[in-house]
Amino acid sequence: MGAYLTRRFLLMLLTLFGMSVLIFVMLRLVPGNIADILVDAAGIADPKEKAKIINELGLDRPILEQYGQWVGGLVRGDLGFAYVSERPALEEIAPRIPISAKLAGMALFFSVVIGVPFGVISAVRQNTALDYFLRVISLSGLSLPSFWLALLVLMASVHWFGTIPIYSNEPRSFLQEVGLLSIPAAVVGFRSSALVMRLTRSSMLEVLRQDYIRTARSKGASQTSVNYDHALRNALLPVVTIIGIEAAFLVGGLIVTETVFNIPGVARFLVEAILWRDYPIVQNLVMLIAFVVVMVNFLVDMAYMALDPRIKYAD
């Protein structure tokens, strides 16, 4: 196990290194740089002013030197200066991480809390009215675009309650924060919950037809025990995989939700930074997302072992 973990850790480092090269190169392949954009935003294209900005930001230095400077800084915990705000990138990024993390965490929580039980119910009550109803709900969750759903929620809230659940002021208490984030989290989580529900259902249906389930039933185990102790545990393996993948994809869903609900999180900030070609912000944020994805994958692999004792990672 120890050797496996070491191998896994080295592989993670290699993946992150590959990601860093990819991010760095791809960003520079996109047409236009920050100097173009800053000058364009002012409606002018003065080559002298542009050259001055390029020089100030060090964009005229050799590309390898720029890469070395960035990675060296990352190792030291120095993320550089944001080009647009001219403030340390860490100061710009750090306050936004907890907001997005909480939102993503709550969305994931929603998707699991709704998706897994309803998936089980749907499978156990296969081809009943309840099953059909839950399948329609899950299908709508997959087919409704997040931005549309988010706008509908806002409109309904203004129309019926005369209030709008957007993030306009920093919440003063934990409860207020939960209240503020729960609606957008539910909007983001709705799609994931639909996916989790459908996968749980199909996985449960498959497991419920296995011999050992019949054995459990014949031994006199209760229906609840069969469903939850024997079937669900084994049906969860593919569900855990999809939850891991969804956790990575959540960032994409957050962009829309953070924009519509006006949440000052990482995802919206990343899009803005890409539009401005604010390399220090984009590079560091994408690296952070890559790190989260790699970590989630690692945790999913560990969860396999916990769920199925037959799975062992050999040294």
Residues 44-83 within binding reach of other proteins (CB under 8 A) = 44-46, 49, 52-53, 56
Q: Closest approach of Cβ 189 to other proteins, in Å?
A: 20
Q: H or E stretch including 127?
A: none
- Min CB(174)–other proteins separation in Å: 20
- Please report whether residue 246 would count as binding other proteins according to CB under 8 A: no
Counts for the chain of helices (H) and strands (E), in that order: 14, 0
Sequence-ordered list of residues with C-beta below 8 angstroms from that of 173, at least 6 positions apart, any chain: none
- Residue 38 or 205 having the CB closest to other proteins: 38
Site for other proteins contains 97 (CB under 8 A): no
Question: Strand pairing partners for 88?
Answer: 81
Comparison of 80 and 115: residue with beta carbon closer to other proteins: 80
Would the CA dihedral through 39, 40, 42, 46 be positive or negative? Answer: positive
Residues 6 or more apart in contact with residue 242 via CB below 8 angstroms: 195, 196, 199
Tokens of 175: 């409860």
Q: Binder to other proteins among 154, 185, 251, 290 (CB under 8 A)?
A: 154
Question: Binders of other proteins among 162-201, rule CB under 8 A?
Answer: 162-164, 166, 168
Structural tokens at position 66: 């720029």
* Closest CB 153 distance from other proteins, rounded Å: 10
Nearer to other proteins, 57 or 199 (CB): 57
Shortest separation between residue 183's beta carbon and other proteins, angstroms: 13
Select 153 or 197, whichever has its Cβ closest to other proteins. 153
Residues near other proteins (CB under 8 A) are 31-32, 36-46, 49, 52-53, 56, 84-87, 92, 151, 154-155, 157-159, 162-164, 166, 168, 259-262, 264, 268-269, 272, 275-277
